[in-house]
Amino acid sequence: MPRQVTYKVGIENFEKYRKEVEGAVQEITVEVHELDAEPWPVDTPLRHVGHDIPRLDAPAKVTGAAKYTYDINTAGMTYCGFVTSPHAHAIIKKVDASKAESMKGVLGVKTFEGNRATYPGYIAAGVCAESPGILDDALQAIQVDYEVKPGPCTTEDAMKPGAETVDMRGESNVRGGRPMQRGKIDEAFGSADVKVAGEYRTAVQTHSCLEPHGSVVQVNPDGGATVWASTQATSGFARGAFLRGLGVQRNRVRVLTEHMGGGFGSKFGPGSWDAIAAEFAAKTKRPVKMLLSRRMEHLLGGNRPDSIQKLELAGTKDGSFLGIRGETWGTAGNGGRGAGATNTMVYNWPARAMRQNGVNTFSMWGRAFRAPRHPQGSFAMEAIIERYAHEIGMDPLAVRMKNDPHPIRQVQWRIGADRIDWKKNRRKVPGSDKGVVKRGLGCAAARWSQAGRHMSRGGPYTVDIAIDREGNVTVANCVQDIGTGIRTVMAILAAEELGTDPSLINVEVGDSRLKPGPGSGGSTTSPTIGPAVRTACVVAKDSLKALLALEWNVDESKIEWTDGDFVDPAGKRATFPQACSLIGDDGLRVSGQRQRNWTSPYRETAGCQFAQVSVDTETGVITVEKVVAVHDCGRVVDALTARNQVNGGVIQGISYALYEEKQLDRNLGDMVNPTFDTYRIMGMADCPEIDAVMTSVVSGFNNAGMMGLGEPATVPTAAAVANAVFNAIGVEVPELPMTPARVLTALEGKQG
């Protein structure tokens, strides 16, 4: 029978700040499933959960023992690569592969004559060969004739009347979104003391995964197939054209992702490239290795759409928001979807009206990218808030706090402001530093809303647990560790629940044969699987109680788990290893299912970041000197990997703010900087001091109180940096990345 549990949720520790904020700790009542674990209330002292625990696979990663898809080499390996179109738009008239086909060591050629290639990088031919060298020779030997057609590749060109359309049936590349309206927008603007308008732009950012997209595909003699894939979803990878290419029944395909070298949302389903590799594997009956080149990775591996955002804010003289309205345009390339900007979030907007348009261009489509739509939306929204605060002569942090309804973020603003010393270091008059190098502070808010899920269409998410009579514990689920540390999180939760040490827990993940687990997107992985680990441990302990009940000849319901030991009312006591010694040689194998989420007063996770920058006003070069990032992910399970996530989000966010830009020649459409030396991306030497502060918040959504973290950590960084630049130089740089050229242009505008 489910039981009612009343307990305290909210922010842990930080007593000094939380006592100032109403709702920072609250009492809730939830209905707990009979097999589920008891929720841990706020401030419960725990032995492992919430501490700094190094990731379990760190030694394997730093020594190279960890094998990524790229590292898989099996006997008889063959290699697959591609000839791609350099044109924005062309018909592939003829592919002459005769020379390549006759080369020794070439095992297969597939051509795509007649196809309409609607982005640079479109595959015109695929080749499978005995060695990478033969493969490259064969690719060079293939001649492709293209009929080049007009192909606007920038958002603005594609929007022009009469522009060539990506969708041949379409009349325009613009896919107007449905207008969104909440509240009385005209009234808000009509009655406002202050109105501020601005236009903001962001560039296309590529995912730039260190390990490119791809797979090693092997059709086995028994009629099954093994696929080592660099994917964020082992469970759903074998599908579509890839599965058809393999020609193997879905239930005979095993997908393995033991380690993954970066995905950021771009690596869910298989790509057209995987499908071609699968066909070669089926045809040659030999393993095929196919991983994209860096150039193809930049062109095809996904991107964050660009944006043009026109925004208007209405507010009162004393800093209350009345409304926000505007229109945005963005391109995700061929698809044109997902090109919005989430720019009405976080704050209390009494009235909102937005229209978001996707624009098709002749470029590869975008893919989900760490907090899709959020960094670009945050940049524009926070910039116009900054201008509004400046206009009414108010501290921009005070304006934000005044309009922020989230009790947790109210605590976080206070923590962050103290740690960056906002009062002292913010320039009261933006741009007022003397000299060439000017400093400033900025801040911005993060949000996310993800507390995990209990099931997919594949059934309830289930964690297996196996315990042997020596007390060795294995927890397993098909979820993949995409570098974010789910292995370690699973081990910590199991160790906490079973009274053992995380380093003694064996975790198996990244294998489609294991029980259903989520794809790693939307920051769902930890809050989905973490609570299921606890549930599985509860089931395992119940089984151990049953064994003890037989041994002790007592009713199993009388045995309690106290302080890491099993005890019965008569005082008999068994440690976890003692109890395990009762297990038979066949081992104990049980599972626990993720239970449905409860409702929590903290529907969204909160976060905020503060940046300190210096700007060289002669060269336009911006240096980020310090970032304070205060984040919530529900309960923190591993403080070390959580801060690690935040560091990564900040670094990727600064990189987005200052450096990253997919540059296309707008006449030809092809990418001019498809390498890591010309596509600027942040390096170690550019990293500022990052003060990552986790506020652990028992969310009340699940037995562990967990929520997601991966995405919110990168939402506000670019906005905070941009606002700091405004504070430093007294003029807004309204376009990302904030390159020296753009900074100098903004400064010229200020003088002129």
**Residues engaged in binding another protein (CB under 8 A):** 86, 133, 136-137, 140, 618-621, 623, 658-659, 663-668, 670-675, 677-678, 680, 682-686, 739-741, 744-745
Q: Peptide bond preceding 350: is omega within 30 degrees of 0, i.e. cis?
A: no
Closest approach of Cβ 530 to another protein, in Å? 37
Residue number, 47 or 294, with CB nearest to another protein: 294
H-type alpha helices, 70-203: 98-101, 132-141, 155-159, 185-191
Closest approach of Cβ 673 to another protein, in Å? 5
Instruction: Residue count of the chain, please give it.
Output: 752
Residue number, 91 or 744, with CB nearest to another protein: 744
Residue number, 582 or 744, with CB nearest to another protein: 744
Instruction: Give the Cβ contact number of residue 428 at 10 Å.
Output: 9
Closest approach of Cβ 129 to another protein, in Å? 13
The answer for residues whose C-beta is within 8 angstroms of residue 258's C-beta and 6 or more apart is 66, 67, 68, 510
The answer to whether the CB of 427 falls within 8 A of the CB of 728 is yes
Residue number, 190 or 683, with CB nearest to another protein: 683
Q: Which amino acid, one-letter code, is at 256?
A: L
Residue number, 102 or 140, with CB nearest to another protein: 140
DSSP 595: P
Instruction: Give the Cβ contact number of residue 331 at 10 Å.
Output: 33
Residue number, 56 or 682, with CB nearest to another protein: 682
Q: How many CA atoms lie within 13 A of 607 on its CB side?
A: 34
Residue number, 29 or 619, with CB nearest to another protein: 619
Residue number, 547 or 664, with CB nearest to another protein: 664
Closest approach of Cβ 124 to another protein, in Å? 12
Residue number, 472 or 647, with CB nearest to another protein: 647
The answer to whether the CB of 642 falls within 8 A of the CB of 696 is no
The answer to whether the CB of 700 falls within 8 A of the CB of 602 is yes
- Residue 310, judged by CB atoms within 10 A of its CB (0-12, 13-18, 19+), counts as middle
Closest approach of Cβ 120 to another protein, in Å? 9
Closest approach of Cβ 100 to another protein, in Å? 14
Q: d(Cα 138, Cα 126) in Å, to the nearest integer?
A: 10
Closest approach of Cβ 133 to another protein, in Å? 6
Closest approach of Cβ 620 to another protein, in Å? 7
Closest approach of Cβ 50 to another protein, in Å? 35
Closest approach of Cβ 71 to another protein, in Å? 20
Residue number, 398 or 744, with CB nearest to another protein: 744
DSSP string, 349-405: -SEEEEEEEEEE-SSPPP---SSTTHHHHHHHHHHHHHHHHHHHT--HHHHHHHT--
Closest approach of Cβ 419 to another protein, in Å? 24
Residue number, 158 or 491, with CB nearest to another protein: 158
Cα dihedral 241, 246, 247, 249 sign: negative
Angle at 300 between CA 298 and CA 301, to 5 degrees: 70
The answer to whether the CB of 650 falls within 8 A of the CB of 690 is yes
Collapsed DSSP state (helix, strand, coil) of residue 108: strand
The token pair at 418 is 């103290």
Closest approach of Cβ 329 to another protein, in Å? 19
Closest approach of Cβ 86 to another protein, in Å? 4
Cα dihedral 230, 458, 372, 625 sign: negative
Residue number, 287 or 620, with CB nearest to another protein: 620
Residue number, 53 or 654, with CB nearest to another protein: 654
- The residues that bridge with 323 in the sheet, in sequence order, are 314, 351
Please enumerate, as own/partner, the contacts of 343-346 that have beta carbons within 8 Å and a separation of 24 or more: 343/309, 343/311, 343/376, 343/377, 343/378, 343/380, 343/381, 344/180, 344/377, 344/381, 345/374, 345/377, 345/378, 345/381, 345/447, 346/381, 346/404, 346/406, 346/409, 346/445, 346/446, 346/447
The token pair at 590 is 């049980």
